[in-house]
Amino acid sequence: MFTAFADAVSEDDAGLLVADGEVRLHFALKSEKPQRIGALQLNVLRVEITVRQGTGEAASALLARVDRATQRGGG
């Protein structure tokens, strides 16, 4: 996400803030207990997204952009 949105992303103690125009989305990040499948250990990261500023429609549009940018390792 950092490379896809460059200056629009900032960090705080609880996660990441993505700002674009009048919209602010906060991504709270929390590591959880890793999952094991045989010898494979998978880290688990819970992400809770909240709208800090902006209309629902504008926030949905920004979230869709974030989703597209981070698919297939794009961000």
Closest CA relative to residue 31, chosen from 48, 17, 18, 19: 48
Is the pTM for the entire model greater than 0.95? no
Q: Which residues are 36's β-sheet partners?
A: 41
**CA-to-CA dists, residue 8 to 5, 41, 54, 65, 73, angstroms:** 5, 33, 15, 12, 18
Structural domains in the chain plus CATH codes: 2-69 (3.30.1370)
Q: What is the radius of gyration, based on Cα positions, of the chain?
A: 14
Per-residue pLDDT of the chain (75 residues; tens, 9 = 90+): 456 666 788 888 889 999 999 999 999 999 999 999 999 999 999 999 999 999 999 999 999 988 888 786 655
φ/ψ of 67, rounded to 5, equals: -60, -50
